Amino acid sequence: MKTIIAKKHVFDWIWKLGQASKADLMQRLTVTSTSLTRLLDELVSDEQVLVSAFGQSTGGRKPIIYCVNPGYGAVLGLEISRFSSSLGLYDLAMNPLAFERWKMTSGMTPGKLLNKIERTAARMMQESGVSQERLLGIGVGAVGPLSRESGMILKPRHFPAAGWSEVPITSLLEERLGVPAMLDNGANTALVGEHWALHSKEIEHMVYVHAGVGLRTAMLSGGKIVRGAVDMEGSFGQMIIQTNSSEGVVGVGKLESLVSIPALEQRIQENLSASGQDPLPVRSFDHYVPFLRRKDPLVVDAFMETATYLGVGLANLINILHPEAVILGGPLVNSHQMLYDKVVEMARSHIYYSPQYEPVFSQGQLKEDAVSAGAAVMLLQQWNLG
């Protein structure tokens, strides 16, 4: 193994664990004690790792505890979705230094978003004392379909603004910011972020589901993102859960046609019409959420029906993949606790092998910041120490 590769491997384990002794690292690395000592000395000399403390003695000298030097560098994490976008600045230990979120309106074209990102990144760096030389890069989690290899957002559906097809987002960001950029599906980066946040538990198999304007899914197995021959992010939404749909009608019977913000908005309007009430004046998700929180019965019924369908679809996914942990995110799930509870209740009631097999459900550690934070983690995972 080349020294630079081994050095990065040592750094990565210290980064994952938060802090580590030489003995902790020897348990996880195939390296001699002498080589590990040399690599640790190099990391400390280069100021990429700090000696943070001394551990408890077991009879001899107290062990040295190492941690990542958070001030060595910083990284940006960007989320681009149909509902909102966000930018975060993080130090090398993934401590958040600054964060900002924007609504994706009909006027938020790629050019306008890039202008906002460039201005916001410059301000964040200035206010946080991060120089251009210390900025390592920007990771991007975006709505698919996309091409990771070419850094291109391809033809996403339901963007409120025009111009989001065939956008070479990584090259545009590199030109604006002067640092390397990496792109992946937002569901993947969210899962990467949540997995990193749970690093102390060393979970190997996880599923992430984001329910919003569409359904987005990512899977991790053996600690690594599972990728198919084509973009898999939207595949969960194509799951068929109704077979009595009209022949030739595209999307009817598929999970995303029943579980999405557009489907929910339509369901609420149908409930209002069936009850003899006039439709609400603003037909938008943001307008309906306060009615949900006030427990308006017609709105609650629509949300809970959505949660029921999502729970059934989720059970199907769990029965195939059998993950240790399932993380639910997105504006639909996060709109109210009772919606999340209903999804989990329905999923649990249809899990095969239950109660012997029970995955852990949660809304994650990072929640709505998971995509942008995970994009930053993704870039640091690929960062070459140099």
Q: Express each pLDDT in 330-348 by its tens digit.
A: 889 999 999 999 999 999 9
Task: Select the CATH number that applies to the domain covering 72-193+370-382 from these four: 3.20.20.60, 3.40.50.970, 3.40.190.10, 3.30.420.40.
Answer: 3.30.420.40
The stretch 310-328 carries a mean pLDDT of: 92
Assigned token pair, 238: 């194509």
The stretch 128-153 carries a mean pLDDT of: 94
Length of the chain: 386
Q: Tell me if 135 sits within 8 A of 73, measured CB to CB.
A: yes
Residue 112 reports pLDDT greater than 90: yes
SS3 content of the chain, % helix, strand, coil (to 5): 45, 20, 35
Q: Which of helix, strand or coil describes residue 111?
A: helix
CATH number of the domain at 201-364, please? 3.30.420.40
pLDDT number for residue 251: 45
Q: State pLDDT tens for residues 173-194.
A: 999 999 999 999 999 999 999 9
Q: Which helix (H) or strand (E) element contains residue 325? A: strand 325-329
CATH number of the domain at 3-68, please? 1.10.10.10
Which of 188 and 56 is assigned the larger pLDDT?
Answer: 188
68-71-77 Cα angle (round to 5): 90
- Please name the amino acid found at residue 365: Q
Beta strands 152-153 and 146-147, pairing class: antiparallel
Q: How far apart are the first and last CA of the chain?
A: 16
Domain boundaries, the chain: 3-68, 72-193+370-382, 201-364
Equal CATH topology for 72-193+370-382 and 201-364: yes
| Lowest mean pLDDT across 109-113, 192-196, 256-260 | 256-260
Q: Taking the CA atoms of 172, 175, 177 and 179 in sequence, report the sign of the dihedral they define.
A: positive
What percentage of residues in the chain have a pLDDT greater than 90? 55
63-67-73 Cα angle (round to 5): 155
